[in-house]
Amino acid sequence: MDNKRFETEVIHKGYHATQHQGSLAPPIFQTSTFVFDSAETGAARFAGEQEGYIYSRLSNPTVAMLEERIAAMENGERGLAFGSGMAAVSAILLGLTKTGDHVLCSEGVYGCTFGLLQLMEEKYHITHNFHSMDDEDSIRSSITDHTSVIYIESPINPTMKLVDLEMIARIAKEFGIPVVVDNTFSSPYLQRPLDLGCDVVIHSATKYLCGHGDVIGGLAVGKKELMSHLAMTTQKDIGGVMSPFDAWLLLRGIKTLPVRMDRHCDNAKKLANLLKEHPSVSKVLFPGDCDFPQYELANKQMSNSGGLISFELKGDKATAQKFMNTLRLIKIAVSLGDAETLIQHPSTMTHAVVPEENRKQMGISDQLLRLSVGLEAWEDIWADLDQGLNQI
């Protein structure tokens, strides 16, 4: 990221006010198409002989600002913006695979990513399997002649399990296989997989990058050659692109990412410690907990522990649902990274599409809840959790 610090680049990178009549805020180029000054100019742009905008599905100035900013934040060469996180996941996975290929995945993934992998197998005979990603020899033995992608979440949704990204990247390079990392839970403020040797980073920009619960968007970052190829194939032709207005909202949200993430992390640490001590809680899964099995790995590859806590209650599904229904301040909602604290029940919500047997293998029980810690005073969040826990 040039020679400026992260907190500076998230505010300034990719925008020069002097080029836009001095407007402090980036303008929204809310247009579907762009006018050519001559037929020859149009022909030259379509032929790739002249730089310039053609049509907003291909590129747009507001979206380009966002793409430049996220590339700088992840220390990558080029960013791409999509209409949703799943549009980014779909474009990357389809762009890196063909019929007969194999995808090796971390043992847990977001429910819709799971569904996409199933669809790719059923329709296009692109197989996949899930792996714990713990042991180097086991990982090597799971890579086949047809493995074309290693796909990872870290932390994994919703179990918070971590994958050693540096180790995976090292193994993948032995086989010439790209590593794709969903970095949504950490944001580039806490973790930068490209710096650890991975090849593509994906974000559901809906979450921490937006921070305000009012945008659906996805972002991907990688080497310029690869991302340019994906831009002109799966992004352009499938068409899951981001709108200029959503890009503008994300540019605004990203400016406060470091400040927000510091608060999310601080609040989460306090709440995780309190949850651990409550008699109604049987297990807390949080990378910042010194008893977390991968606490040392978290300290190695993340600059802080994040704002998400998963925890299991003593009881069953009915217990978990009763607890959620007692909450007053905390909102029952999927998604994460908002100013508001949100709670959801993975086995019946975000991961309901995953068969029960697979959920159990992933460590998703009916008693497991995922808490996205917001920006409220931690004392008020805890008061709500405490009163709910005391009722069960």
- Give dist(CA 100, CA 31) in Å, integer: 40
Average pLDDT over residues 29-41: 97
Tell me: the pLDDT tens digits for 174-184?
A: 999 999 999 99
Average pLDDT over residues 160-165: 98
- Domain for residue 73, yes or no? yes
Q: Which residues does 336 contact at the CB level (< 8 Å), separation at least 6?
A: 185, 207, 208, 307, 308, 342, 370, 372
What pLDDT is recorded for position 179?
98
Clarify whether residues 235 and 266 are in a common domain: no
What pLDDT is recorded for position 4?
73
Given the residues 53, 55, 57, 270, select the one marked as catalytic. Answer: 57
Clarify whether residues 190 and 234 are in a common domain: yes
Given the residues 101, 182, 246, 338, select the one marked as catalytic. Answer: 182
Distances (CA, A) of 42 to 126, 167, 229, 306: 39, 47, 22, 47
Tell me: the pLDDT tens digits for 201-256?
A: 999 999 999 999 999 999 999 999 999 999 999 999 999 999 999 999 999 999 99
- Give dist(CA 294, CA 305) in Å, integer: 11
Active site residue 207: yes
315: CATH: 3.90.1150.10
Residue 351 has pLDDT above 60, yes or no: yes
Clarify whether residues 270 and 293 are in a common domain: yes
Determine what percent of the chain is predicted with pLDDT higher than 90.
96
* H or E element at residue 342: strand 342-344
- Domain for residue 80, yes or no? yes
| 73: nearest Cα among 5, 163, 1 | 1
Q: Which of 237, 254, 271 finishes a domain?
A: 254
Clarify whether residues 219 and 278 are in a common domain: no
Q: Domain range holding 262?
A: 257-391
Clarify whether residues 248 and 373 are in a common domain: no
Residue 1 has pLDDT above 70, yes or no: no
| 218: nearest Cα among 226, 227, 209 | 209
What pLDDT is recorded for position 156?
96
Clarify whether residues 174 and 196 are in a common domain: yes
Given the residues 15, 101, 110, 199, select the one marked as catalytic. Answer: 110
Tell me: the pLDDT tens digits for 279-316?
A: 999 999 999 999 999 999 999 999 999 999 999 999 99
Average pLDDT over residues 28-49: 96
Number of domains in the chain: 2
137: CATH: 3.40.640.10
Radius of gyration of the chain (CA): 21
- Domain for residue 243, yes or no? yes
Clarify whether residues 42 and 80 are in a common domain: yes
Neighbours of 49 (CB within 10 A): 10
Active site residue 359: no
- Domain for residue 62, yes or no? yes
What pLDDT is recorded for position 3?
61
- Domain for residue 337, yes or no? yes
Q: Which of 234, 254, 274 finishes a domain?
A: 254
Residue 90 has pLDDT above 90, yes or no: yes
Given the residues 161, 207, 260, 370, select the one marked as catalytic. Answer: 207
Clarify whether residues 210 and 145 are in a common domain: yes
Provide the residue count of the chain. Answer: 392
Q: Which residues does 338 contact at the CB level (< 8 Å), separation at least 6?
A: 211, 212, 213, 372, 374
Q: Which of 205, 226, 254 finishes a domain?
A: 254
Clarify whether residues 125 and 213 are in a common domain: yes
Kindly report the pTM of this predicted structure. 0.95
- Domain for residue 1, yes or no? no
- Domain for residue 318, yes or no? yes
Average pLDDT over residues 81-103: 98
Clarify whether residues 353 and 215 are in a common domain: no
Helix (H, G, I), strand (E, B) or coil at 33: strand
Q: What's the chain's average pLDDT?
A: 96
Residue 347 has pLDDT above 80, yes or no: yes
Q: pLDDT band at residue 2, thresholds of 50, 70 and 90? A: low
Residue 112 has pLDDT above 80, yes or no: yes
Clarify whether residues 332 and 192 are in a common domain: no
Active site residue 124: no
Q: Is the dihedral of CA 207, 208, 209, 212 positive or negative?
A: positive
Tell me: the pLDDT tens digits for 356-369?
A: 999 998 999 999 99
Clarify whether residues 217 and 95 are in a common domain: yes
Active site residue 182: yes
